[in-house]
Structure 1
Amino acid sequence: QEYIPEVRIGDKRILVLGGKIIGAVLREPKDNNFLANLGQGGIARKTDITERENEMVTRLSKFLIKNGLHFVGLDVIGDYMTEINITCPTGIVHINQLNNTILEKEIVEYFRSLADVA
């Protein structure tokens, strides 16, 4: 992966459920490091979604749903989407703690609604 200088600020994990953003967390590198992964010493910070990130999700959401990808984690550094994580969209615990939310409830309700339709 090409080095993106904005990684020094951190990378953002955006959770997308049913094509809509349900939460995000900024994973900030500790000290002068560029590793933002929380398992490698990164720090979870509250964050907002930018207009550009909203645009990315809007453009991607139809593709995700069409391909059965209802719950994903998107990683963004600066203006670049660096990953679409479909196997382990982590960040729920940190997003809940930072925003006083209970995302699990929303996720379970979404998938129950899909089961009711099927």
Structure 2
Amino acid sequence: MSKKRRVLIIEDEDNIAIALDYLMSREGFDHERLATGRGALDRIRAEQPDLVLLDVMLPEVSGYEICQEVRADHGLSEVKILMMTARGSAMERRKGLALGADGFIAKPFELKELRDEVHRLLDAGGA
């Protein structure tokens, strides 16, 4: 299976996006970034990425709304969602998982922690 995994990063903070970009490149994933929630759903539908790294706090449309919309679209059932939030509270986590996120990571994260979580989600897809 030589097809490159596609990852869509939806993150408004440049410094975090740069770290994610570095990690995705190093892991050999095809990836793109959006800096706002607006248009994210159309992009996800068009690209059908394997994984969406989704910030909760986004300008215009929240990560929660995007997650909910993706989960309501049966054509996107294969898309995995890893939500990222600066507020790593249990309530935020429960809300994200209740809306259908596959995983949750609190910012700031260690790159290794994120890498492990990305692989956990993508490798589970083939099981």
TM-score, normalization by structure 1: 0.30
Q: Which has the larger radius of gyration?
A: 1
From the two aligned structures, give the one with the greater helix fraction.
2
Q: Relative contact order: is structure 1 or structure 2 higher (C-alpha 8 Å, sep ≥ 6)?
A: 1
Which structure's residues are more often strand, by fraction? Answer: 1
